[in-house]
Amino acid sequence: MDARVVRERSSLVWEKLETDLARFRKFLRSLLRNRIALAGLVVVAFFGVLAVVGPVLVGPYPTTFDKDDPLLEPSDRHLLGTDIQGFDNLVILVYGSRISLIIGLVSASVAMVVGTLIGLVGGFYGGALDQMFARFTDFFLVIPWLPFAIVLSVILGPGLTTTITAIAIVSWPTTARIVRSQVLSLRERLFIERARAIGAGNGHILFRHILPNVMPLVFAQAILTISVAIFTEAFLSFFGLGPPGTISWGKMIEDSWSALALLRGMWWYFGPPGLSITLVVLGFSMLSYGLEEVLNPRLKRR
């Protein structure tokens, strides 16, 4: 290949990279100027750092426990007291954040991929295929998601994979509906007609023109799905349907309920995991709303 052609192609690649970086910096500045998104980002970043760095600070798990004196009150030795078995609640809280966040991220990623593909293909090709996908999506949308997740967990048996699968199944229809409605609008735009006029095929148009335009909304919905997934995992774990042998915030609340912590006023047992779930769900929800507000100018407050 001619060296001149190579230099021109390299130059085009660098120019495109610089353009993309400039757009990303502009997007990041807009996101950080949005107070709701910034507050949500701070909360999410805090729990992300807690999950990654926290175990280094609190020590290994399982921790040594005071089996002869469980349910200890907070002290210098146990900052959040001990659980019903005598394990340190702070250590369990930190390690439980890992499981809760992993389940939320993985299940939201699966739901995002499945929902995006179904909405993308159905909305673009239309016809009988779109009707079939739309009715399939509607079927899952009308099913109450929490009872359905409970039934699915009972049928498949408790486990990490089962929990992720149950959450992903009840989460993808919303993404599919959002993507489909956006694709139905995009496929009629002038730039799509121009792409067809110069001979672009359906695959090229679908993945090079339409998909990049729907991905911002997909990411915003995926972030919101993470918050729903974390809440659903806590709900399933509270009823004993979470992954066995693992620790999570939902499992901590279940153990505190078994120990009658609420009736006995042991706030250090049920309070921290409940507050953590509330904050992280709120943080992801605020980040999703702020992200959608930045990406969609019609939602910006005047």
Query: What is the 3-class SS of the chain, one letter each residue?
Result: CCHHHHHHHHHHHHHHHHHHHHHHHHHHHHHHHCHHHHHHHHHHHHHHHHHHHHHHHHCCCCCCCCCCCCCCCCCCCCCCCECCCCCEHHHHHHHHHHHHHHHHHHHHHHHHHHHHHHHHHHHHHCHHHHHHHHHHHHHHHCCCHHHHHHHHHHHHCCCHHHHHHHHHHHHHHHHHHHHHHHHHHHCCCHHHHHHHHCCCCHHHHHHHHHHHHHHHHHHHHHHHHHHHHHHHHHHHHHCCCCCCCCCCHHHHHHHHHHCCCCCCCCHHHHHHHHHHHHHHHHHHHHHHHHHHHHHCHHHCCC
Residue type present at position 282: L
Taking the chain (302 residues) in runs of 10, the rounded mean pLDDT of each run is 62 67 76 85 91 81 62 82 83 86 88 90 86 87 79 79 83 88 84 80 82 84 86 83 80 87 86 91 88 68 48
Please give the angle made by the CA atoms of 34, 219 and 302, to the nearest 5 degrees.
30
Contact indicator for 87, 63 with CB cutoff of 8 Å:
yes
Query: Could you state, in order of their start, the residue ranges of all structural domains in the chain?
Result: 1-33, 36-299
pLDDT at 43: 92
pLDDT at 124: 86
pLDDT at 64: 56
Superfamily of domain 36-299: MetI-like (1.10.3720.10)
pLDDT at 276: 92
For 152, half-sphere exposure in the C-beta direction (CA atoms, 13 angstrom radius) is: 22
pLDDT at 266: 87
pLDDT at 63: 60
Residue type present at position 10: S
